[in-house]
């Protein structure tokens, strides 16, 4: 909506509620009388409405099927540490899945965001141009690798090789509780999943951050340089503040992928319905992994129960995105539109 | 215009590439078929007795991964004998097979455990005039595979196995294991027990065995879902076998054919008989021979004696069934199902099993299976 303001005639009403804008657009297209305008208006309006209807229908479908499952559930949907909708009585709860999804995504973000920002800064401000292109290309290529390939690589390569790191963490950091390995077993843990997810969300965070860093007005950087700032000071004082909201949106895009990643997690994780703060222990589960593992052989109620868990993931994603929008809105003074 | 012509050219090139690719792939496929016919001379003669009467078109089936390797051989032999018939057995899990069967998407399902009453009730929607029945078709030992460098020929008994999978025994040199393996040096290494992550008939059969023989150490119901806390999970028989193969100190359970095909050593069971029993298809046959039919009517679900102490009878066995409708099968697949199951239940079909690490179904029960298959409609 904001982007339409510059091309609007001076006498049109200022951008306000959607109705005002579409009204103005309709009046304008009627005025010129060109068929193309009308078609384009109909198309774009249709697309916008289609998106809303699509999201609403997904939500309605999930809610309806979830309600059926929840009515049958004999356990507590939020606190039961079990998933047995085929049992008698049917019992299932999402506590373990919510914990696993959030923890693995947080680990992924903690690793991926700093690395991605580093790569993006290197590509946009440090690397010689000859090197920057290929590196950017390779990072983008990481996004094209199917997740099942990451899963296979993770299970056959990453898991065996992380055992050493796990033992090292256990040896030196077992006092942190989370790095204490109490259960013997290979590294098919939430921690490993977090590392794998970090690699998977790197490209999206990197490429969006890189684009944002390249948008930093040259005048800002040159002004800082003119004041005698070093390159690091330029980055710290002009590039990072300017790019902050962009990096946050990029991270949220990545977080969306991490929350919903299915096949790679299902291949690498050794699932169990227990919550453990010891992240190196095998076990745990995520929403998407649980749905993928259980959907094929679930009975009618089992499917509805999985759909109910899917609804929770849907809401979680909405909350995360909403939160991100609020953070970005608060930092609007730095966003690209106002620069 | 120019742009369009260029696009057209590109499309033609892509199309040509796709066609060539398809041709190359098909060529590979047919090569494979001829070579397998050529090398498996013994099997090819067996295949010549197959009656293809009425079989036609495509038959989809799905289910138990425990009988996958047997099914692969059967399908290969059958399709070599009956040209124009295509059988596609999707090896997933018993649970998935039954779900697919009750949705009417497959001609028959493979399952490691007999249909539950509620599943039979559900099957009546698909079998218009009848219900789903179990036909025991493949027997086999559930092997306890392990990976422990320097130790071969390990012996365990039911309580020890229960305690291992229940996380009560966590070291390979635990006194209970040492006592069963006198004279062998067992390392001071942690035991990593692997179980199936998804619902599985193999899990249920192990649970039935442990419940029947080590009730004190295995207080769980025999369900398809893994009941015990702790341990590590992997997906499918192949997933568990792969983990056992990869991890030193691991132990897991799967169909014997997965152990033989990947040369994973298996545990001999101390059943109380004079000598520990090895997991072999003959030993499994001895245990299955004592099974009784517990199904009613045309249903041939079996009751196994897990607590057997007979000499050389390997007690952890599973019988995998083919689930079909006793009447009211879909008309377009009925003749193919009948023809294929007639082959799998025949002497040739059953003989294939022992070569692949499975156990044939005992003769009296097999006779009933053939009778039932002949009467399918």
Do B116 and B170 lie in one domain? The reply is no
Q: Do B93 and A297 make contact, defined as CB atoms within 8 angstroms? A: yes
What are the phi and psi torsion angles at A178 (to 5°)? -70, -30
pLDDT of residue B308 exceeding 80: yes
What are the phi and psi torsion angles at B254 (to 5°)? -165, 170
Separation in Å, CA of B50 to nearest CA in chain A = 33
pLDDT of residue B30 exceeding 50: no
pLDDT digits (tens, 9 = 90+) for A221-254: 899 999 999 999 999 988 998 898 899 989 998 9
Average pLDDT in chain B: 84
Of B197, B223, B231, the CB nearest to A293: B197
- Residue B135 is part of which domain span? 6-140+292-307+321-374
Q: Residues of A with CB below 8 A from B201's CB? A: none
Mean pLDDT is highest, among A4-8, A271-275, B27-31, for A271-275
pLDDT of the residue at B157:
93
Which residues neighbour A269 within 8 Å (Cβ) at sequence distance 6 or greater?
A: A100, A188, A189, A190, A192, A193, A282, A284, A285, A286, A289
pLDDT of the residue at B279:
92
Do B135 and B58 lie in one domain? The reply is yes
pLDDT of residue A15 exceeding 70: no
pLDDT of the residue at B16:
55
Q: Cβ(B354)–Cβ(B282) under 8 Å?
A: yes
- For residue B15, tell me if it sits in a domain: yes
Q: Residues of A with CB below 8 A from B170's CB? A: 184
Q: Assess A5–B contact: CB distance below 8 Å, yes or no.
A: no
Q: Which residues of B touch A (CB under 8 A)?
A: 92-93, 95-96, 98-99, 170, 190-192, 197-199, 223, 225, 229-235, 243, 246-247
Q: How confident is the model at residue B31 (pLDDT cuts 50, 70, 90)?
A: very low
Mean pLDDT in residue range B189-217: 90
Of B99, B199, B234, the CB nearest to A270: B234
Is B66 a known ligand-binding residue? yes
- For residue A2, tell me if it sits in a domain: no
The upper half-sphere exposure of residue B274, i.e. CA atoms within 13 Å in the direction of its Cβ, equals 2
- For residue B40, tell me if it sits in a domain: yes
Of A160, A186, A297, the CB nearest to B99: A297
Q: What's A282's domain CATH number?
A: 1.10.3720.10
Which residues neighbour A84 within 8 Å (Cβ) at sequence distance 6 or greater?
A: A90, A91, A92, B225
pLDDT of residue B342 exceeding 60: yes
Counting the structural domains of chain B, the total is 2
- Give, in order, the Cα–Cα distances in Å from A64 to each of A50, A78, A310, A330, B89: 21, 18, 12, 36, 34
Of A270, A274, A297, the CB nearest to B198: A297
- For residue A15, tell me if it sits in a domain: no
- For residue A8, tell me if it sits in a domain: no
pLDDT of residue B113 exceeding 50: yes
Do B263 and B370 lie in one domain? The reply is no
pLDDT of residue B354 exceeding 80: yes
Q: Residues of B with CB below 8 A from A188's CB? A: 232
Do B108 and B184 lie in one domain? The reply is no
Of B197, B230, B247, the CB nearest to A183: B230
pLDDT of residue B357 exceeding 60: yes
- Give, in order, the Cα–Cα distances in Å from B174 to each of B36, B178, B181, B189, B229: 47, 6, 11, 10, 20
Q: How confident is the model at residue A27 (pLDDT cuts 50, 70, 90)?
A: low
Q: Cβ(B102)–Cβ(B119) under 8 Å?
A: yes
SS3 A276: coil
Do B152 and B103 lie in one domain? The reply is no
**Residue B319 pairs with which residues in a beta bridge?**
B139
Mean pLDDT in residue range B34-58: 57
Pick from B290, B243, B259, B247: nearest CA to B66:
B259
Do B182 and B301 lie in one domain? The reply is no
| Measured distance CA(A263)–CA(B258) in Å, rounded | 24
SS3 A281: coil
pLDDT of residue B348 exceeding 70: yes
As a three-state string, the secondary structure of A13-36 is CCCCCHHHHHHHHHHHHHHHCCHH
Q: Do A160 and B246 make contact, defined as CB atoms within 8 angstroms? A: yes
The CA radius of gyration of chain A, in Å to the nearest whole number, is: 24
Separation in Å, CA of B137 to nearest CA in chain A = 22
Q: Do A188 and B170 make contact, defined as CB atoms within 8 angstroms? A: no
Of A87, A184, A296, the CB nearest to B92: A296
Do B232 and B354 lie in one domain? The reply is no
pLDDT of the residue at A333:
56
Separation in Å, CA of B195 to nearest CA in chain A = 10
pLDDT of the residue at B200:
81
Mean pLDDT in residue range A309-315: 93
What are the structure tokens assigned to A49, written together?
A: 């409405």
Cβ atoms within 10 A of the Cβ of A57, count?
10
Looking at chain A from residue 274 to 313, which residues have their Cβ under 8 Å from any Cβ of chain B? 274, 282-283, 293-294, 296-299
> Is the ipTM of this structure higher than 0.95?
no
- Give, in order, the Cα–Cα distances in Å from A68 to each of A92, A177, A303, B102, B316: 13, 40, 10, 21, 40
pLDDT of the residue at B116:
87
Counting the structural domains of chain A, the total is 1
pLDDT of the residue at B69:
86
pLDDT of the residue at A32:
61
Cα dihedral value A22, A23, A28, A29, nearest 10: 60
Do B190 and B132 lie in one domain? The reply is no
Q: Residues of B with CB below 8 A from A266's CB? A: 235
What are the phi and psi torsion angles at B111 (to 5°)? -145, 140
Do B277 and B155 lie in one domain? The reply is yes
Which residues neighbour A334 within 8 Å (Cβ) at sequence distance 6 or greater?
A: A241, A242, A244, A245
Exposure class string for A99-133: b at 16+ Cβ within 10 A, else e: bbbbbbbebbbebbbeebbebbbbbbbebeeeebe
Q: Do A266 and B93 make contact, defined as CB atoms within 8 angstroms? A: no
Q: What's B155's domain CATH number?
A: 3.40.190.10
- For residue A30, tell me if it sits in a domain: no
- For residue B192, tell me if it sits in a domain: yes
Mean pLDDT in residue range B5-17: 54
**Dihedral angle sign, alpha carbons of residues B298, B300, B303, B309:** positive
pLDDT of residue A336 exceeding 70: no
pLDDT of residue B35 exceeding 50: no
Is B94 a known ligand-binding residue? yes
Residues found in chain A = 339
Q: CA nearest A297 in B: which residue?
A: B96
- For residue B315, tell me if it sits in a domain: no
Q: Do B99 and A183 make contact, defined as CB atoms within 8 angstroms? A: no
Q: How far apart are the first and last CA of chain A?
A: 18
Average pLDDT in chain A: 86
pLDDT digits (tens, 9 = 90+) for A43-101: 999 999 999 999 999 999 999 999 999 999 998 999 989 888 887 788 999 999 999 99
- For residue A1, tell me if it sits in a domain: no
Q: What is the DSSP letter of B112?
A: S
- Residue A108 is part of which domain span? 57-334
Q: How confident is the model at residue B13 (pLDDT cuts 50, 70, 90)?
A: low
- For residue B313, tell me if it sits in a domain: no
Mean pLDDT in residue range B130-143: 92
- For residue A10, tell me if it sits in a domain: no
Q: How confident is the model at residue A265 (pLDDT cuts 50, 70, 90)?
A: very high
Chain center to CA of A283: 23
- Count interface pairs A-B at CB distance under 8 A: 56
Q: CA nearest B236 in A: which residue?
A: A293
0.80 exceeded by the pTM? no
Cβ atoms within 10 A of the Cβ of B238, count?
17
Pick from B312, B288, B279, B323: nearest CA to B98:
B323
Cβ atoms within 10 A of the Cβ of A144, count?
8
Mean pLDDT in residue range A256-265: 92
Q: What is the DSSP letter of B252?
A: E
Do B31 and B47 lie in one domain? The reply is yes
pLDDT of the residue at A206:
95
- A336 or B197, which is more confident: B197
Do B262 and B235 lie in one domain? The reply is yes
- Give, in order, the Cα–Cα distances in Å from B281 to each of B143, B145, B256, B368: 10, 15, 8, 22
Q: Do A271 and B246 make contact, defined as CB atoms within 8 angstroms? A: no
What are the structure tokens assigned to B33, written together?
A: 């078929």
Do B31 and B135 lie in one domain? The reply is yes
Of A160, A270, A299, the CB nearest to B233: A270
pLDDT of residue B24 exceeding 70: no
pLDDT of residue B5 exceeding 60: no
- For residue A321, tell me if it sits in a domain: yes
- For residue B329, tell me if it sits in a domain: yes
Is B111 a known ligand-binding residue? no
Exposed/middle/buried for residue B234 (C-beta within 10 Å: 0-12, 13-18, 19+): buried
- Residue to substitute from B169, B232, B244, B245, interface A, most A β-carbons within 10 A: B232
Q: How confident is the model at residue B257 (pLDDT cuts 50, 70, 90)?
A: confident
pLDDT digits (tens, 9 = 90+) for B59-99: 999 988 888 889 999 999 999 888 889 999 998 877 888 98
Chain center to CA of A310: 16
- Alpha-helix residue ranges (DSSP H) falling in A33-189: 35-72, 95-121, 129-144, 147-153, 159-173
């Amino acid at each position: 909506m904001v982007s339409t303001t510059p091309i609007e005639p001076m006498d049109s009403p200022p951008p306000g509620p959607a109705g005002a804008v579409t009204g103005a657009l309709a009046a304008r297209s009627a005025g010129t009388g060109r068929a193309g305008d009308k078609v384009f208006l109909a198309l774009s309006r249709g697309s916008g409405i289609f998106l809303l209807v699509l999201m609403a229908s997904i939500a309605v479908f999930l809610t309806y099927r979830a309600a059926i499952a929840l009515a049958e559930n004999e356990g507590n949907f939020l606190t039961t540490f079990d998933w047995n909708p085929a049992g008698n009585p049917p019992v299932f709860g999402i506590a373990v899945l919510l914990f696993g999804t959030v923890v693995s995504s947080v680990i992924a973000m903690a690793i991926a965001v700093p690395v991605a920002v580093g790569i993006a800064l290197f590509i946009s401000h440090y690397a010689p141009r000859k090197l920057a292109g290929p590196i950017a290309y390779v990072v983008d290529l990481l996004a094209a690798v199917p997740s099942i390939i990451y899963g296979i690589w993770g299970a056959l390569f990453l898991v065996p090789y992380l055992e050493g790191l796990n033992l090292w963490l256990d040896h030196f950091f077992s006092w942190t509780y989370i790095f204490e390995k109490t259960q013997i077993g290979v590294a098919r843990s939430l921690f490993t999943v977090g590392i794998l997810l970090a690699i998977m969300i790197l490209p999206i965070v990197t490429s969006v951050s890189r684009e944002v860093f390249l948008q930093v007005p040259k005048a800002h950087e040159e002004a800082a340089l003119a004041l005698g700032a070093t390159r690091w000071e330029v980055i710290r004082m002009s590039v990072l503040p300017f790019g902050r909201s962009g990096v946050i949106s990029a991270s949220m895009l990545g977080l969306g992928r991490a929350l919903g990643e299915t096949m790679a997690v299902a291949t690498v994780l050794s699932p169990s319905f227990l919550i453990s703060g010891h992240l190196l222990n095998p076990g745990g589960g995520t929403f998407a992994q649980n749905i993928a593992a259980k959907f094929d052989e679930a009975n009618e109620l089992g499917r509805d129960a999985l759909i109910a868990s899917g609804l929770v993931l849907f809401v979680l994603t909405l909350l995360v995105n909403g939160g991100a929008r609020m953070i970005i809105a608060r930092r609007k003074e730095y966003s690209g539109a106002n620069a | 215009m120019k742009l369009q012509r260029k696009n057209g050219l590109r499309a033609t090139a892509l199309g040509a590439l796709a066609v060539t690719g398809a041709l190359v792939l098909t060529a590979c496929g047919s090569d494979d078929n001829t070579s397998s016919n050529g090398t498996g001379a013994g099997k090819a003669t067996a295949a010549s007795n197959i009656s293809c009467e009425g079989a036609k078109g495509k038959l989809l089936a799905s289910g138990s991964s425990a009988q996958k390797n047997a099914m692969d051989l059967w399908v290969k032999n059958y399709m070599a004998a009956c040209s124009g018939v295509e059988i596609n057995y999707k090896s997933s899990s018993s649970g998935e097979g039954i779900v697919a069967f009750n949705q009417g998407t497959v001609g028959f399902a493979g399952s490691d455990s007999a249909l539950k009453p509620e599943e039979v009730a559900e099957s009546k929607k698909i079998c218009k005039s009848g219900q789903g029945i179990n036909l025991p078709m493949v027997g086999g030992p559930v092997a306890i595979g392990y990976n422990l460098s320097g130790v071969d020929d390990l012996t365990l008994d039911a309580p020890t196995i229960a305690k291992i999978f229940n996380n009560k025994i966590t070291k390979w040199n635990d006194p209970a294991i040492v006592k069963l393996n006198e004279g062998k040096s067992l390392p001071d290494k942690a035991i990593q027990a692997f179980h199936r992550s998804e619902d599985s008939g193999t899990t249920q059969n192990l649970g039935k065995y442990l419940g029947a023989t080590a009730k004190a150490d295995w207080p769980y119901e025999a369900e398809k879902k893994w009941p015990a806390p702790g341990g590590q999970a992997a997906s499918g028989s192949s997933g568990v076998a792969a983990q056992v193969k990869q991890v030193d100190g691991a132990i897991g359970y799967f169909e014997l054919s997965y152990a033989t095909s990947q040369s994973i050593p298996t545990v001999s069971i101390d059943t109380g008989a004079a000598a520990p029993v090895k997991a072999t298809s003959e030993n499994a046959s001895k245990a299955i021979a004592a099974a009784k039919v517990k199904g009613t009517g045309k249903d041939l679900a079996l009751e196994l004696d897990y607590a057997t102490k007979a000499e050389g009878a390997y007690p952890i066995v599973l019988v995998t069934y083919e689930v079909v409708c006793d009447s009211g099968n879909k008309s377009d697949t009925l003749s193919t199902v009948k023809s294929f199951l007639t082959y799998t239940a025949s002497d040739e079909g059953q003989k294939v099993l022992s070569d692949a690490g499975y156990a044939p179904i005992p003769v009296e029960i097999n006779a009933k299976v053939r009778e039932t298959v002949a009467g399918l409609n």
